[in-house]
Amino acid sequence: MSAAIKRWKEFRERVERTGLRSYESLMPFPYPMKLWFGTRKPTRMFYFTKPAFMDYLGRQSLFPDHWLAIERYSIPTPEAIATLHLLVKGFRMPLVFVGDLKPLDLTVFALLRRGSADFSGAKSRPLPVVYAGLDDRWLAISDRFRRNGNVMPESRIGSLDREHVDLLADLAPDLPALLGDRSWGLLRSGHDVMIEMTYNAGGYQKGYLEHLIAHLDVLAARASRVAKTPRV
Domain extent listing, the chain: 3-228
Architecture category of domain 3-228 in CATH = 3-Layer(aba) Sandwich (3.40)
Residue bearing the bigger pLDDT, 30 or 150: 30
Phi-psi region of 23 (alpha: psi -120 to 50; beta: other; left: phi over 0): beta
Q: How far apart (Å, rounded) are the C-alpha atoms in residues 90 and 84?
A: 10
Confidence (pTM)? 0.94
CB 132 within 8 A of CB 214: no
% of the chain beyond a pLDDT of 90: 82
Strand partners, 96: 46, 130
* Residue-wise pLDDT tens digits, 33-50: 999 999 999 999 999 999
123 pLDDT tier (thresholds 50, 70, 90): confident
Phi-psi region of 158 (alpha: psi -120 to 50; beta: other; left: phi over 0): beta
Residue 186 is predicted with a pLDDT of 96
What is the residue type of 231? R
Give DSSP secondary structure letters for 148-163.
Answer: TT-----EE--HHHHH
